[in-house]
Structure formats: structure tokens, C-alpha cells
A and B are shown apart, each in its own frame.
Chain A
Amino acid sequence: MSEVILAAVGISKRFDALQASRDISLDLRRGEIHALIGPNGAGKSTLIQQIAGRLKPDAGRIVLEGRDVTALDTAERARLGIARTFQVSALAMEDTALQNVVLGVLGARGGAYRMWGNALARGSLRDRAEQAVARVGLTNMATTRASALSHGGRRQLEIAVALALDPKAFVMDEPMAGLGTSGSHDLTELLSGLRDEAPVLMVEHDMDAVFALADRISVLVSGEIIATGTVDEIRANSAVRRAYLGEEEGA
């Protein structure tokens, strides 16, 4: 079994009467794409937020490369190497694509308090940012404001910012949400290559993409992981078919 990079151990979270996470344990191993699937409201985003640091779990731990990071906030976890992308794009919309990515490089390398010099001056900061922009195929759009990018462009940009962090693990909440067929096709290739840089934990609704990309799949229903396994194992799992895939076919 290959090395575990990121793990959630016994995570539970309640919102008043609603148990959004029930004793969830899940791990992300080197080199893999681990897809997290489940019906609407299952608690996928809630889990992602607890991993990234936005929400504190009621019980359980988040472990990054053997280190317990549960007590750390979002910014500290990001610096340690958890790169999160959002279900609804969170970007500096007035800023250019390149500026957004430079922010990621600044976060990873430090220097966000430097008050002199041009943030976009030629140098290693900008080189790294341009490299990340190129990696997601946005070079032509580098000087376009995020607000003027297409929906797909913004999704690519989020990934570029995450890449700029030089992360240990990617944590992506529905990276393909709202993309058309051709858009999600392009993104599938990009995501597929990411696992060589760092493993990807990815919430996704698009089952074609999940089956094409994932090395392993975990199924979350009503805050509980009901199965984890390879694509074939999940396809064959009767509980999953009943709880989730069957629902998809019926819809």
C-alpha cells in the first residue's frame, strides 16, 4: 500500500439537528485521484471544509503527512500544503489571472508583507506564476481579469492558484461544476495529470469524469461513508447502487 499523504480520522460534525459528518475516515495516498461522490446534501462540501480548515470538526482529526493539523486554521494548512479549490469560484475578480496566481506563490513562499518592489516584476515569483498559468492552459488569458474569464476559465484559474502553492495534496470541491461536455473533457485531462504532482481528493457529480479519472472512490450518503474502493468495486457494490447510482439512473 502506498504512502498516505492526507487523512481524515473519525470526523464528526453536527449542524443543530443535522448530522453532516458521521465518524468519517478516509485517506488520500501518493499518486492517486480519490473521488468523493454522494447525493446532494450528503455532506461532501462539509467534509472538504473540515479538511481545509474552514470548519472545525466536533470530533476526529485531520492528518497531513503524519502531522495532526486539526488545530490549525485555513491559512496555516494551506502553507503546509493543502490546496483547496471551491465549488463556487472564489477568486479576486477585479484582478488578472496572473495576479491571482501570484497570490498563491506569495502564500507558499512568504513575502506577502513586502511593501516595496512590483509584485509582477520579472523574477522567480512571476516565473512560477506563469508556469502555473501555462500548466492549466491560460497563458493567453494571463492579463485578463478573472471577472472577464469564462466559467471554464475560472475553474482552470482556481487550479492554477492551487498549483502555485506547490501543495502536498489537492482538495477540490466539484472542479467541473457548471462546465459543458467539451469543457469538462479538457479539464479531465488536466486533472488527470495533476496526480503526478500531488494526490487529488475530488468531490465530483459528473460520473463519467469520476469513472475516467478516479483511482479510488468513496461514497458519502447522509454524512456517512458507505463504501470505499476502486472504480470496479464501487460499480459492483450493491449498497452504492441502491443508495446512489440507482438514483442517478432513475433521474
Chain B
Amino acid sequence: MKRAWVANVALICMLPVVAIWASMADEPFIITLATKVAILALAGVGLNMALGQGGLVSLGHAAFFGIGGYAMGILASHAQSYTPLLEWPMLIEGSNSMPVIWLLALVSSGLAALVIGALSLRTNGVYFIMITLAFGQMFYYFSISWPAYGGEDGLAIYMRNGFPGLNTLVPLHFFGLAFAVLLVALALATLIGRSPFGLALNAARQSSERVETAGIRPYRLQLTVFVLSGMVTGLAGALFADLNRFVSPSMFSWQTSGEIMVFVILGGVARLCGPLAGAALFILLEQLLGGISDYWHIFLGALLLLIILFARGGVMGLIAGPGERAHV
């Protein structure tokens, strides 16, 4: 327990240390990489709520990531072209304010998760995986065939969106923002993990019969966490789009769902900082090996295989030791 705590704190501190160092050394690219790690980790923290605590193997989280991305793209593109988003029944203008964009990202990905979850959670096991995958693909094809926002080519946003009191064009400021959001999500995950809801949810993952006979419906617990999980991943999508100043259907692709899941598995399923460790390792490998060979995914695959075979707890399991779950 103690060791896990130290490992988490060390890992969390590493990211701002790297970013601040890079800022002093005038290495903006490194800051951008650290920002990318924070944002992808955020997407993973979202998935890990459903996967780690709820046992819900969703291969459709790209849907939420993409919805968050397009929430940013759509609002910002209207703001950039000075055209209203909607004139009837009420006038809705575009926006280039991050809080507004985040709110839309949270609400729309939450609603999507509610619908997708309500339907998918009637199944389980491999059917659940397939249905979530199918929903993700539906969004993918929809985004390709919808011409209003760039269709297949995606949508470029020329200005980074603003946040009150910060200059988001300064890489370190934008990093700070993404990192702060990640911290909030980690705090939320911790809070939930030790709460009565977390206890019931974790029990439902282990034995739905046990939870039912205790008078609690597993379906509703799981739907609740699925919506929260989708919202967090959706927020990550909005930040990711802002980082790249670009949104495209690839955010909706099943490869995106797969990558978010890879962060979680690499880092350690159900570990608080698993997604952070996984995303950091992923970006590190991409930078180191991607330069050597275009086929760096082969190495990634081999690493994933080793972890699944020999280290179920992922990187965090190796660093922090077994059994990190709250109040065990």
C-alpha cells in the first residue's frame, strides 16, 4: 500500500519535472510530448474506470474520444468562421473558450455513453466487446461521410482555444492545463474507488450474483461508471484536438480504442496510475523506436505480449507491487 503510494506520487511528479526542464532548456517539442502523455493518460484514466473498476472491456472508447474532439472542432470552426452553430430554435454561436468546449465535450460524450452503455450492458463478455466496437465504428463511418465538418479530411483549427488567465499558446501553459485536468481525473478515480459506489462496483465485477442478492442492481452501477468513463475520455478527446489543432475521423477509429486500451494494459489494469505509466511508455517507445523503424508496433506488440504473460499488473504492478486497490 505504502509502496504503491510512493510509486504513484513519483510517477505523477515526473511529468511536470520533464515539462519544466524542457521549458528551461527551450525544447518545446518535449513539452508537447509531455502534454500528449498527460492527455492520453487522461483518456486511459477514463477507460480504466470502466475496465479496471467495472470490469467492462470496452473496445469503443474511441467514440467518446472522437466526440470530445469534434466538440472542440465544431465549436472552434464556427468561431473561426464567425458563423453561428445553430440559428433555430435558439441562436448558438461557436466558441473558442476551452471551458465552453469542455462542457460540450463532457455532456455529449456522457450522453453517448449513456445510450451506448444502456444497450451494450445488456450483454457481457465477448458480445459486450463487439457491441462497443460496433458503436465506435458507427461514429467513425458517420464522421467520414458527414461533409459539413471536413468529412474524411478532418478539420483544421488555426488558433488554439483560450482559457481564462492563461496563454494557451505557450507550451508550458497548455501542459499545465492538461496536467491539472489529469490530476482532477485521478482524484476522482481515487474518490470513487474507495467510496461505497466503488465498493459495490468492484463487487459487481467479481460476482454480479452477489451484488444482486445484496439488493443492488449491477446494471445500474455499471451504466453509471460507463457514463463517467465516457465523459473523462471525451474530455481527453477535446484536449487532444486542441493539442493538434486538428480533428479527423481517425480519432473515432478502432485503432484509437485499441491504443487507449494498450495504455491501460501496459501500465496496469485497475491501477490508479496505470494509464499514465502506459501512455508515457507508449510515447517513449514511439519516439525511440519510431525513429529506428517504421515497424515499431511490432516491438510494442511483443512488449504487450510479455506483460500479459508475465506481469498482469503491468508496469505499475512491477514498480508498486501487487494489490493496490483502495482499502484492501
Residue numbers of A with Cβ under 8 A of B are: 52, 54, 73-76, 78-79, 83-84, 86, 90-96, 99-100, 102-104, 106-108, 111-120, 125, 145, 161, 165
Distance between A135 CB and nearest chain B CB, rounded to angstroms: 17
Q: Is the CB of A106 within 8 A of B199?
A: yes
Please name all residues of chain A whose beta carbon is closer than 8 Å to the beta carbon of B220 when the two chains form the complex.
113
Q: Does B283 contact A (CB under 8 A)?
A: no
A109 to B151, CA, bound (A): 51
Centre residue among A75, A79, A111 by max chain B CB count within 10 A: A75
Q: Of A76, A116, A118, A145, which is within 8 A of B328 by CB?
A: A145
Please name all residues of chain B whose beta carbon is closer than 8 Å to the beta carbon of A93 when the two chains form the complex.
206-207
Centre residue among B199, B206, B209, B325 by max chain A CB count within 10 A: B199
Distance between A100 CB and nearest chain B CB, rounded to angstroms: 7
A95 to B327, CA, bound (A): 9
Q: Is the CB of A117 within 8 A of B328?
A: no
Q: Is the CB of A114 within 8 A of B196?
A: yes
Q: Does B79 contact A (CB under 8 A)?
A: no
Which 7 pairs, one residue from A and one from B, show the smallest C-beta to C-beta distance? A107-B215, A107-B214, A78-B215, A79-B215, A92-B203, A119-B199, A92-B206
Q: Of A75, A91, A114, A115, which is within 8 A of B207 by CB?
A: A91
Q: Does B68 contact A (CB under 8 A)?
A: no
Q: Does B81 contact A (CB under 8 A)?
A: no
Please name all residues of chain B whose beta carbon is closer than 8 Å to the beta carbon of A99 when the two chains form the complex.
199, 203, 327
Q: Does B194 contact A (CB under 8 A)?
A: yes
Q: B205-240 vs A: 1/0 string, CB under 8 Å?
A: 011011111111100110010000000000000000
Q: Is the CB of A106 within 8 A of B191?
A: no
A94 to B201, CA, bound (A): 13
Given contacts A79-B215, A145-B328, contact A106 B210 (CB under 8 A): no
> In chain B, residues 13-72, which have Cβ atoms closer than 8 Å to a Cβ of chain A?
none
Closest A residue to B203 using CB positions: A92
Q: Is the CB of B197 within 8 A of A113?
A: yes
Please name all residues of chain B whose beta carbon is closer than 8 Å to the beta carbon of A84 when the two chains form the complex.
213
Q: Does B192 contact A (CB under 8 A)?
A: yes
Q: Is the CB of B216 within 8 A of A106?
A: yes
Distance between A35 CB and nearest chain B CB, rounded to angstroms: 21
Please name all residues of chain A whose beta carbon is closer than 8 Å to the beta carbon of B200 when the two chains form the complex.
103, 106, 112
Closest B residue to A76 using CB positions: B215
Q: Is the CB of B195 within 8 A of A103?
A: no
A119 to B209, CA, bound (A): 20
Q: Does B268 contact A (CB under 8 A)?
A: no
Q: Of A92, A94, A112, A165, which is within 8 A of B197 by CB?
A: A112
Q: Is the CB of A91 within 8 A of B195?
A: no
Closest B residue to A85 using CB positions: B213
Given contacts A95-B202, A119-B194, contact A90 B216 (CB under 8 A): no
Q: Does B198 contact A (CB under 8 A)?
A: yes
Please name all residues of chain B whose beta carbon is closer than 8 Å to the beta carbon of A94 when the two chains form the complex.
202, 206, 325, 328
> In chain B, residues 138-182, which have Cβ atoms closer than 8 Å to a Cβ of chain A?
none
A-B contact pairs, 22 of them (CB 8 A): A75-B211, A78-B213, A86-B209, A90-B213, A91-B206, A92-B206, A94-B325, A103-B211, A106-B200, A106-B216, A107-B214, A111-B196, A113-B221, A114-B197, A115-B192, A115-B195, A115-B198, A117-B196, A118-B327, A119-B195, A120-B199, A165-B215
Centre residue among B202, B203, B220, B325 by max chain A CB count within 10 A: B203
Q: Is the CB of B327 within 8 A of A112?
A: no
Distance between B245 CB and nearest chain A CB, rounded to angstroms: 35
A166 to B312, CA, bound (A): 39
Given contacts A92-B202, A106-B216, contact A115 B197 (CB under 8 A): yes
Q: Of B199, B203, B216, which is within 8 A of A75 by CB?
A: B216
Please name all residues of chain B whose beta carbon is closer than 8 Å to the beta carbon of A92 when the two chains form the complex.
202-203, 206-207, 210
A73 to B220, CA, bound (A): 14
A99 to B325, CA, bound (A): 12
Q: Is the CB of A115 within 8 A of B191?
A: yes
Q: Is the CB of B209 within 8 A of A90?
A: yes
A114 to B194, CA, bound (A): 10
Q: Is the CB of B199 within 8 A of A103?
A: yes
Q: Is the CB of A112 within 8 A of B216?
A: yes
Please name all residues of chain B whose beta carbon is closer than 8 Å to the beta carbon of A100 when the two chains form the complex.
203, 210
Given contacts A99-B199, A114-B197, A145-B328, contact A165 B191 (CB under 8 A): no
Please name all residues of chain B whose beta carbon is closer than 8 Å to the beta carbon of A106 when the two chains form the complex.
196, 199-200, 214, 216
A156 to B210, CA, bound (A): 15
